Amino acid sequence: MTRRSWTRHFWTQLPFFAWLVAIWMLLWGQFTWLAFFTGIAVAIFVTAVFRLPAAELTGRVNPLWLLVEVVVFLAELGWGALQVAWLAIAPGTPRTAVVRVPLRVDDDLIMTHAAVALSLVPGSTVIEEDRARRILYLHVIGVRSDRDIERARASGMRWEARIVRAVGSREELALVRSGALPYADRREEGES
């Protein structure tokens, strides 16, 4: 590994390393120098012993869109909780559906972020993902019509777009902005 590639690898992996240290400090419930330095030791140990394939970050972060993503997530978290609470006390059995959400970007990290965000918001959860075709399948509660199904699909695609705007590469950002077809559709067109 050349010095330049090692330096690039270090800077792209630094956020993961810092995240491990932060998790360690949160687990201990202490923000002290001792927790910080033991967190560094644990992060070094974990990354040395449990060698996972590196998830390459784009190195691009848009703080404004990151803030938008967090605010929208908190708002949807609250709204989703209210909707599920209403469904719990409303008469009758709420209808559910499995909704196919095709993603546009061919990136594991973006797909994971979108799946986690969609699963954490009450009322929907990711039950399956088709990694090869970049499709998430959501189980959605409280579906009354086809319009609700389309709304859930559009919500999933908006999550992908917000995440790409916050941390995606410039190529992914251009793809989302252009309104490109979902990845699976583009792939099938290319294969035909």
Enter the pTM of the model.
0.70
The pLDDT confidence band at residue 192, using thresholds 50, 70 and 90, is: very low
At 111, list the tokens.
Answer: 């797909």
Domain assignment present for residue 58? The answer is no
What pLDDT shows up at residue 58?
64
Residue in the structure block whose two tokens are 């799946």: 115
Residue 126: count of CB within 10 angstroms of its CB: 20
What pLDDT shows up at residue 83?
93
Separation CA 109–CA 60 (nearest Å) = 13
Report how many domains make up the chain: 2
Strands 135-141 and 96-102: antiparallel
What pLDDT shows up at residue 150?
95
Residues 24 and 113 both lie in one domain: no
Among 57-66, 92-101, 137-146, name the one with the lowest average pLDDT. 57-66
Domain assignment present for residue 71? The answer is yes
Separation CA 188–CA 192 (nearest Å) = 6
Residues 98 and 165 both lie in one domain: yes
pLDDT in tens, 7-19: 766 676 777 788 8
Residue 7 domain boundaries = 3-49
Whether residue 58 contacts residue 16, with contact meaning beta carbons closer than 8 Å, is answered with: no
